[in-house]
Amino acid sequence: DSGVTQTPKHLITATGQRVTLRCSPRSGDLSVYWYQQSLDQGLQFLIQYYNGEERAKGNILERFSAQQFPDLHSELNLSSLELGDSALYFCASSVGTGGTYEQYFGPGTRLTVT
Amino acid sequence: GNSVTQMEGPVTLSEEAFLTINCTYTATGYPSLFWYVQYPGEGLQLLLKATKADDKGSNKGFEATYRKETTSFHLEKGSVQVSDSAVYFCALSGGSGGYNKLIFGAGTRLAVHP
């Protein structure tokens, strides 16, 4: 158990809908990262927050947005969903920001868009 | 940009065999290197890391050495067990761009048979 929690574990929704994925980092970790894992794209970095502020952005679509709240939990919002958005979405956390810090991953949310 | 290349799987071994999974990287500056493992239906677990040239990361019998001259970080284990069956991901972060995201290889599936 990494200490990172994600809810829900599974989500099934229809095209065009909007969903929210939630992540709680390990106690004491200030950085939260979101990654997408799909069969065709592999593991891709989406976005990072550090202590409530956006710190880095990756291959995140404009239909997707995220935020980190004062209690450090984070939410990833996916809207106007398409079939191609079906994937595993992972949250990770680390103590600080910077390449040497280890990132600890949650169990993931499996999103299925039908 | 930075990238990671892993040997393609699946790798199929008998129990107690020697394991090598090759990983090479392209990066500017001095990135940190990681191996993560993903067991079926689970999130990614950090297996080991190295943050500078010639560092050796080790954990649970697995080892990898950061080789800057060959830009490699190969994963090895002297005697694999059935319980090691999983997908292994090589990753890097940091470097001259100062980016915090993890860049992953495509993953290598390992299957160990009794």
E strand segments, chain B:
3-6, 11-14, 19-21, 23-26, 31-38, 44-50, 56-59, 62-65, 75-77, 86-94, 103-104, 108-113
Q: Is A32 exposed, middle or buried (0-12, 13-18, 19+ CB in 10 A)?
A: buried
Q: Which residues of B touch A58 (CB under 8 A)?
A: 101
* pLDDT at residue number A46: 96
**Percent with pLDDT over 70 in chain A:** 100
Spatial separation of the C-alpha atoms in residues A69 and A13, rounded to whole Å: 25
Q: What is the pLDDT of residues A70-114, one digit of tens each?
A: 999 999 999 999 999 999 999 999 987 777 788 999 999 999 999
Residue A97 touches partner B, C-beta closer than 8 Å: yes
Residue A93 sits at the vertex; the CA angle it makes with B54 and B20, to the nearest 5 degrees, is 35
Question: What pLDDT digit, counting tens, does each position of B18-35 carry?
Answer: 999 999 999 988 899 999
A and B: number of Cβ contacts within 8 A = 66
Separation in Å, CA of B31 to nearest CA in chain A: 7
Q: What is the pLDDT of residue B8?
A: 86
Whether B100 sits inside 8 A of A56 (CB atoms) is yes
Residue B97, judged by CB atoms within 10 A of its CB (0-12, 13-18, 19+), counts as: middle
* pLDDT digits 0-9 by tens, A38-58: 988 899 999 999 999 999 999
For B114, the token pair is 């009794």
DSSP structure class, residue B101: S
Which of B31, B94, B106 has the CB atom closest to A42's CB atom? B106
Low-confidence spans in chain B with pLDDT less than 70 = 95-99
Per-residue model confidence (pLDDT) at position B99: 64
pLDDT at A2 over 80: yes
